[in-house]
Amino acid sequence: MAFTSTIDSRPHVLGDLMMVTGTYSAASVATGTIDLSSMLSSIVAAGLNGDAVVSGGGATAGDFACVTTALPTTITVDCVSGNTGTWWALGKRN
């Protein structure tokens, strides 16, 4: 399997900002991307809430969300293979 994600169909709008949420599943991979370019022109903040409980601590066990200036509308998820959870992104609307 690969990395999969969903985008909830009802985002929250706050002026020129939009809060988008969804789920992710990293079956047999440790990274994946969530492209929000159809909804947002840039992401201001993003985060993950992982469902899995893994031991080890630090960067080897957590779930991390990264947004770079090279891809300002894409969340890169870095996690332990097999982790699942929810994600959120706050950004400027298209």
Domain range holding 61? Answer: 3-93
| Portion of the chain with pLDDT greater than 90, in percent | 52
Token pair, residue 11, equals 């985002």
Q: What is the mean pLDDT of residues 68-89?
A: 90
E-strand ranges in 36-83 read 40-50, 64-66, 74-78
CB 77 within 8 A of CB 51: no
As a residue count, the chain comes to 94
Q: What pTM does this model have?
A: 0.82
Q: What is the mean pLDDT of residues 78-89?
A: 88
- Measured CA to CA, the distance from residue 5 to residue 3 in angstroms comes to 7
At residue 63, the 3 state secondary structure works out as coil
Number of domain units in the chain: 1
CATH number of the domain encompassing residue 72: 2.60.40.3940
